[in-house]
Structure formats: structure tokens, C-alpha cells
Structure 1
Amino acid sequence: MTGMTIEDYRNTYWPQLQVAVDRLLQGPQPPYHTGRVIEFEPMYSAAYKCVCQQHSEALYNDLMSHVHKHFLKVAMEMQHLDDFQLIDSYYTIIHRVLYSLDGIIPIFTYLNKVYVSTKLSSDLRTELQNLFCKSVIDPVIEKLMVMVKQTTERTPFSIAPHVLASLVKSLHNLNPEYAQRYPQVFAGYIPGVLPAMREHELSSYINETQELQASLRQSWVSSSPRGKKRCLDEEMHT
């Protein structure tokens, strides 16, 4: 393997890798992409050569800086969303980012092994997920949790249940500390978030459950044509 100068790295190898990273960060386009976004082998080989030629630190810093800029751009775009768009939009962006990371991380497997794991005592997925959380999720996590709670309690089924469940579970996978900050929200979707219930709390829990069931029934009656007809019939007989 011939030597790689810093100029070679800057002018040839990193630009190739940067283009590949950009394509992966775009994520799957609807309908979901089924073909190859990039040629994996040449990109893996390029990253491997950079590490072997003592450019690990530069490669890591360039990768993190470039991805960080992308995440900041995403965060800026998300600021213009209406509150009622938050859940669906963050559900989409989280899945897109996780898809992107599943493509990016294998390219830099050798960087992860030689530099991130050994020098930083971490791993590339953790580093990139933390970067995503700090850049995109942390600034809106409180507002997002409020919207999830309000949707669950006041307007159930206004958002597809699988979207809510997937969003909360993905947030927990990205950063389990979110569940510690908002245990009541996460407890509805993640087992074991709350401590075991004590006996004196059981009656309160039963009351809350009954109130929620009543709310769900009322929501169904209000939204269902059959339910509305039943309410009208009841009014006519009173």
C-alpha cells in the first residue's frame, strides 16, 4: 500500500467518503428505496486505507463535523413545524436517521475498531446517536413529550398507535435517559420504566384506568356515526 499524504486524504479520499455519507444521510425516498444508494466496497476500502495510513483522527473529526452540520440543518428545518406536526415529523426523521446510520457505520468499521473503540473507549453508533440527540432531539424533547401525552390522553387515535409506540421506543433506544426524565410517558410503551407499584397506590391506579377507559369510550361515541345516532336516540327519549 503506497503512502497517503494529508493532501491525498483531503483532496481525494475524504471527498469520496463525504459524497457517500451525504447520499446515505438523505435516507430512503418514498416509496422506500430498494436499490443500492452507494457502492459499499469502494467506500469501505477508502476508509480502511485512511485508517491504515494514520489519518484516523482526521477521518473521525471530519465525519463527526460533517454529520453534525447535517443534523443542525435538520434541526433548523424542524423548527418551522406546527405543534400538531411534531409527532409524525419526528417519527419520520428518526427512522430516516437510523436508516442512514445503518449505512454509514459499516463503511467506517475499521475506524470504529482502531480509533473510536481503542482511543475514545466508545463506538461509532453511540457517538453518532449522541450527536443526533444533542442536535435534533434535545431542543424539542419536552415539547414532544407534552404532545405525546396530550395525544394519548385527550385525542387518542388522532395519531396512529403504531406511530406513537415506535416514536417513544426509538427515543428510548437513542437515549434511555429520556425515560428517566419523562417516566409517565415512557411507561405506557416501555415495560419496567416505573418502579413496582405499592399496595396503597393500587386504588389510585384503578381510578386512573377507569377514567381513561371512560374517556376512550366517549371519544369513540363522539367520532363514530353509530355513536352519534345512539346519543341522538337517547336525547329523543329523555
Structure 2
Amino acid sequence: MAAGRYPPRSRSQAPPWRREHGGGGRRRGHDGRPEPQQLGSRRLRAAPARGTAAATGRAAAPRRARANTARAAALACEREDCAGRAGAAGAIAAINISASTSKFLMNVITIEDYKSTYWPKLDSAIDQLLTQSPGDYIPISYEQIYSCVYKCVCQQHSEQMYSDLIKKITNHLERVSKELQASPPDLYIERFNVALGQYMGALQSIVPLFIYMNKFYIETKLNRDLKDDLIKLFTEHVAEKHIYNLMPLLLEAQSTPFQITPSTMANIVKGLYTLRPEWVQMAPALFSKFIPNILPPAVESELQEYAAQDQKLQRDLIQNGFTRGDQSRKRAGEELTYNGSSACASSRGYR
């Protein structure tokens, strides 16, 4: 009693409501619900907590504002950094484009470059091709010449290159024509055959080398073909100037067998027909010996005449040293009557 006003109570002496809830429970009514004053006091006790949270929120608002401001500043810096990087990338791209443009401009072939560097290479190669003999080895790089033509076409020098090519070949053919005019009659046919064969052989190499010029300039803009143009040059500058001197010599050689070799006669006649088919009218009988379907079909009434022509040909062959071979199993004169007429009739298209 001396220690305090009231003596300590044991748990058994505590009020029922305190004993039921372990001493820390709330005061409840008879139905077990908290008494009203307890609820009021709870609300009164909770109110300061909400007020404290609001006060805390108001205190934290400046901090959030400062954080938002810092975040916005960081975002702005990031945007500026990205813009700076984009600007730097654009500048680098512009530098790369400028470098590639300057590199392209460095590879441009000017007209001076074409005349001083590219055309001389083509000129030298054309010279060698036009003057080579059949079977000769030409020490030129076809790949290099082909590349020169390709580059010149890509750099818009096709018109100039075509003009230079035509002029080059024209000058060559004019020299050939003058050499033929100075030839003696006994060498005239042979030299014409050499000039024709040499030129046609050169075209087999020249035309493929200028295929890009032919495709992208001559065919598209001029509506022509390079090979046809080059054949026409030989016709105009050589064949037309010599046809009236050449044809009498060919007819004379035809009447005198083996005055010139059969291969030479065949090459010239076929070549003239290729250059200008209308020249057949100058000597149909001559052209018909080497080109089919030149003369009209044979008729039965002319068989005797054809047989006589074949007999004359066989006699000429014998006089020039050609033998008939083994005639032991043939009757005398059989090949002159039957075989000759039938062969001639077949050659004239007789059915």
C-alpha cells in the first residue's frame, strides 16, 4: 500500500472485458460490439494521421516538382545529345557523299582524255586487225580494247567513237582501192580476193569489240547495225570502183578453166553476191555456178545443151591433167552422155 495508491491486481481480478481480450482489448457492450465512444475516439485518433499524411504530401510536392524538373532537364539534354549525334551522322554522310562524288568525278573521261588516251588504243588495234593475214597472231589485249569501248560508251562518247571508227576504216579502204588500181591484170583477181577476204576476216573481230557501241548507239539511235555499215563501206569504196574491171576478168577466167583456182573464183563470186545481190544480173551464168537458185529451173528441151556443156568441161579437165580414174567397169563415153546430162540437169533444178 505504501508503494502506490492502489494495490496491484492480479489477472483474475481484472475486469471481464480486459481479461477476455488480454488486457489490451477495447471496451465493448453487451452484444460484443465496441462502444460508440470507442469508435469516436478511434476516429479522432485516426484524423490526425490523415492530416499528417496530407501534410507530408504537401511537404513532398516540392521534392516531386524538383525531381520532375530534373527529369525534364535530363530528357532535354538527351534530346539535344541525340540531335547532336544525328547532326554529326548527317555531316559524316554528307562528307561520304561528297567523297564518292569527287571520286566519281575523278573517273570522268573528258573528250581530251578520249582523244589522247582511249582512241589511240582503239586506233592501233583496228590497224592490226585490218592488215593481218589469215592465221596471224595479233599481240593485242582484246579485254583491254573491249574495256575501252565500254568506258567510252558509258561516258557518252559513242557518237565520237563511231565517227572515228568510220573515218579510220574509210581511209584504210581508200588505200586498198588505190593499190588494186595499180595491180596488173594477171594479179588483179588474186589481189581483190586477198583484200576482200582480209576485210571480212577483220570484221569478225572488230564488230564484237564494238558491241556496246552497236547496241546502245547504232541500233537505238541510228536504227542500223555496225556490221551492215562496215560491209557497206567496202562496197562503196572498193567493190563499186572495181566491179566493171573485175567482171570481164572473171568471165574470161571462167572460159579458160583453171586460169585461177576454183576456191578464189568461189570466194570472189560469193563475196560480190553478199555485198550487192543485184550484181548477179551482170553475169547470171557465172553466179549460178557457185550460188544455188540463181537461174530458172531446167527444162527437158535443154538437156542436150546441158550435156554438151558438161562434155566440154570434162575435156578441159583432161587437157589440164585431171584423169578420170578407174574406167575399167564403165562403158566408153558413158560419163559423157548419161552422167553428164543428169548431173547438169540436177544442178539446174530439173525434176
What TM-score does the superposition give when structure 2 sets the normalisation length? 0.57
- What is aligned with 2:123? 18
Tell me how far apart the structure 2 counterparts of residues 38 and 180 of structure 1 sit (CA, whole Å).
43
Match of 1:143 in 2: 245
Displacement of 1:5: 1.6
Identify the residue that residue 295 of structure 2 maps to in structure 1: 194
What percentage of residue pairs aligned between the two structures are identical? 38
Contact preservation (8 Å) 2:280, 2:287: yes
User: Residue in 1 aligned with 2:45?
Assistant: none
Distance (Å, rounded) in 2 between the aligned partners of 1:164 and 1:109: 32
1:65 is displaced (CA, Å) by 0.7
CA contact (8 A) 1:71 1:132 kept: yes
Residue matched to 1:43: 145
**Contact preservation (8 Å) 2:142, 2:209:** yes
> Offset at 1:49?
1.1
Matches within 5 A, 1:31-110: 32-33=135-136, 35-110=137-212
Q: Which amino acid aligns with 1:197?
A: A
CA-to-partner distance for each residue in 1:170-202, whole Å, 9 max, x for gaps? Answer: 222333333244322211111111222345555
Cα distance in 2, alignment partners of residues 13 and 130 from structure 1: 26
Further displaced range: 114-123 or 62-71: 114-123
Which residue identity lines up with residue 126 of structure 2 in the other structure? Answer: V
Q: Which residue of 1 aligns with 2:284?
A: 183
Structure 1 match to 2:320: 220
Q: For residues 174 and 39 of structure 1, what CA distance do their matches in structure 2 show? A: 30
8 Å contact kept, 2:132–2:138: no
Preserved contact between residue 145 and residue 185 of structure 1 (Cα < 8 Å): no
Tell me by how many angstroms 1:166 deviates: 2.1
Q: Secondary structure at the match of 1:3?
A: coil
In structure 1, what is the equivalent of residue 50 of structure 2?
none
Relative distance call for 1:37 and 1:198 in structure 2 (3 A) is: farther
Is the CA contact (8 Å cut-off) linking 1:172 and 1:178 kept in structure 2? yes
In structure 2, C-alpha distance between the alignment counterparts of 1:203 and 1:84, rounded to whole Å? 35
CA distance in 2, matches of 1:107, 1:47: 7
For residues 91-149 of structure 1, the C-alpha deviation after alignment (integer angstroms, 9 at most, x for no partner) is 11111111211121111010111111122222111111110111111111122222121
Contact 1:151 1:159 in 2 (8 A): yes
Amino acid at match of 2:202: S
Distance 1:149 1:212 in 2: 15
The number of residues matched between the two structures is 218
Question: How far did residue 213 of structure 1 move?
Answer: 4.5
Taking the aligned partners of 2:312 and 2:245, their CA distance within structure 1 comes to 25
Q: Which amino acid aligns with 2:320?
A: W
Q: Give ranges in structure 2 of 5+ residues lacking alignment.
A: 1-103, 324-351
How many Å apart are 1:160 and its aligned residue?
1.5
Write out aligned runs for 1:91-130 (5 A).
Answer: 91-130=193-232
1:27 aligns with 2:132: yes
In the alignment, the residues of structure 2 paired with residue 37 and residue 168 of structure 1 have an alpha-carbon distance, to the nearest angstrom, of 33
Offset of residue 23 of structure 1: 1.2
SS in 1 for 2:156: coil
Match of 2:274 in 1: 173
Contact 1:4 1:53 in 2 (8 A): yes
Structure 2 letter corresponding to 1:173: T
Aligned Cα root-mean-square deviation (Å): 2.3
Conserved in 2, the CA contact under 8 Å of 1:51 and 1:110? yes
Decide whether the 8 Å contact of 1:169 with 1:189 is kept in 2.
Answer: yes
Find the aligned partners of 2:296 and 2:217 in 1 and give their Cα distance. Answer: 39
**Shift, 1:215, TM fit:** 5.0
Q: What's the counterpart of residue 76 of structure 2?
A: none
1:164 pairs with one of 252, 259, 265: 265
Matched to 2:276, the amino acid is N
Q: Rg larger in 1 or in 2? A: 2
- Bigger CA drift: 3-12 or 63-72? 3-12
Distance 1:142 1:129 in 2: 19
Query: Normalized against structure 1, the TM-score is what?
Result: 0.82
Change (3 A) 1:82 1:6: same
